[in-house]
């Protein structure tokens, strides 16, 4: 019980519900019949577990509760955005009325107070109950917004030249708050800041001004590889969904530059004709997407499989567009797209069947 978090408890509760439903079907089909003592012990054990989980983690007991929990998460996210925007516009509304010293004191106080509020709410969140988690995550998002505003406004007050180095403390602060409150939105913000910082550093090493790092999409490749490897280097088992978030954002940072370079060869560092670079990245996109799908199936990562499959289809459809949009009647072009979708479904069905057979043999 001490090693569980709310996600683990919810999965166990869902498994109990599925088990009871299947047990009822087996009894109705007269395949399995439990004796009364067995049924009583089973129900008592399940009710004791569920009571513990409800008291400790405030788990969702049914589909209606799960839908309400999703609504709470959405409301918490929107509320945090609204509060952060309120703080931002409040600063700008009255900013010119304060002296320079007062401005600095207000900025530092806002960051410290919002951090203190987050820590205070988090101390009440040791039980992992959903309502308290939403409160701590909302406070953490506001604290991050105050910190970003703090850095930006202090730079303006003291006339500091903008630099990519600001992304590093933003990333560190977002990651610290994310791990403290288990907020995946803040984890995503920290990952984006890290991706931007590493890409900007790579761009400056290549002779670019840091704001121009997007002119060379290949700057994102080292950051993407690092983010994808990070869950292996630092296990994320205690934090539900964190490893998936790292992988998805890493794959986005890998595939989006590839997709851009597949149609804009002039953005590459490679000193080759633009057409050759575009063709290379088109083939590379197919190959990497297929490898990512294989890895996701192998490691049982549905997020990796879905991301790889999405970009494989995007690369495939954009290539069909390049080949036949101008030279083919539109009805025939879309018919070809539909047939290609059917072909992809058949291939995935064969892979699914083969994977099921392999899994059955492995068992």
Q: What are the residue boundaries of the structural domains of the chain, listed by start?
A: 1-61, 72-160, 183-327
Question: Mean pLDDT score of the chain, rounded to an integer?
Answer: 82
pLDDT greater than 50 at residue 14: yes
pLDDT at 280: 92
Higher pLDDT, 208 or 216: 216
Residues 162-193: tens digit of each pLDDT: 888 889 999 999 999 999 888 888 999 999 99
Average pLDDT (114-123) is 82
Residues 316-331: tens digit of each pLDDT: 888 877 777 777 777 7
Handedness of CA 44, 59, 306, 246 (dihedral sign): negative
Average pLDDT (121-149) is 72
pLDDT at 153: 82
pLDDT greater than 60 at residue 361: no
pLDDT at 62: 66
pLDDT at 36: 87
Higher pLDDT, 88 or 234: 234
Residues 251-260: tens digit of each pLDDT: 999 999 999 9
Of the pLDDT bands very low, low, confident and very high (cuts 50, 70, 90), residue 204 is confident
Q: pTM to 2 decimals?
A: 0.77
Give 253-309 as a DSSP string.
HHHHHHHHHTT-GGGSSS-S-HHHHHHHHHHHHHHHHHHHHHHHHHHT-HHHHHHHH
Asked if 192 and 256 count as a contact pair (C-beta separation under 8 A), the reply is no
Of the pLDDT bands very low, low, confident and very high (cuts 50, 70, 90), residue 362 is very low
pLDDT at 307: 94
3-state secondary structure of 241: coil
Report the percent of the chain where pLDDT is more than 70: 86
pLDDT greater than 90 at residue 232: no
pLDDT greater than 80 at residue 64: no
pLDDT at 187: 94
pLDDT greater than 90 at residue 308: yes
Whole-angstrom distance, CA of residue 285 vs CA of residue 258: 6
Q: How many CB atoms are located within 10 Å of the residue 16 CB? A: 17
How far, in Å, are 7, 299, 302, 347 from residue 361 at the CA level? Answer: 31, 17, 21, 21
Report the percent of the chain where pLDDT is more than 90: 25
pLDDT at 134: 67
pLDDT greater than 50 at residue 358: no
Of the pLDDT bands very low, low, confident and very high (cuts 50, 70, 90), residue 197 is very high
């Amino acid at each position: 019980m001490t090693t569980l978090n709310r996600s683990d408890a919810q999965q166990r509760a869902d498994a109990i519900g599925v088990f009871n439903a299947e047990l009822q079907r087996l009894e109705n089909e007269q395949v399995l019949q439990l004796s009364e003592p067995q049924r009583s012990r089973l129900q008592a054990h399940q009710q004791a577990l569920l009571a513990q989980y409800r008291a400790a983690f405030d788990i969702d007991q049914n589909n209606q509760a799960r839908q309400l929990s999703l609504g709470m998460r959405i409301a918490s996210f929107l509320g945090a955005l609204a509060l952060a925007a309120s703080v931002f516009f409040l600063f700008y509304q009255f900013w010119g009325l304060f002296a320079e010293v007062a401005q600095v004191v207000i900025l530092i106080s806002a960051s410290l107070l919002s951090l203190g509020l987050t820590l205070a709410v988090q101390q009440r969140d040791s039980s992992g109950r959903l309502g308290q988690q939403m409160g701590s995550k909302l406070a953490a998002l506001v604290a991050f917004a105050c910190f970003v505003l703090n850095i930006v406004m202090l730079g303006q007050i003291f006339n500091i030249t903008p630099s990519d180095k600001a992304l590093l403390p933003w990333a560190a602060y977002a990651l610290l708050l994310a791990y403290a409150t288990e907020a995946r939105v803040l984890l995503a913000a920290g990952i984006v800041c890290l991706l931007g910082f590493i890409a900007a550093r790579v761009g400056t090493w290549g002779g670019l001004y840091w704001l121009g790092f997007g002119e060379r999409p290949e700057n994102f490749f080292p950051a993407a590889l690092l983010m994808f490897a990070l869950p292996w280097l630092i296990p994320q088992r205690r934090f539900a969904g964190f490893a998936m978030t790292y992988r998805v954002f890493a794959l986005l940072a890998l595939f989006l530059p590839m997709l851009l370079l597949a149609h804009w060869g002039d953005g590459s560092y490679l000193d080759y004709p633009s057409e050759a670079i575009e063709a290379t990245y088109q083939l590379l996109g197919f190959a990497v997407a297929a490898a990512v799908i294989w890895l996701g199936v192998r490691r049982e990562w549905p997020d990796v499989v879905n991301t790889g499959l999405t970009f494989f289809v995007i690369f495939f459809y954009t290539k069909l567009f390049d080949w036949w949009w101008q030279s083919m009647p539109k009805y025939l072009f879309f018919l070809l797209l539909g047939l290609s979708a059917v072909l992809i479904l058949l291939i995935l069905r064969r892979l699914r069947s083969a994977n099921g057979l392999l899994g059955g043999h492995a068992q």
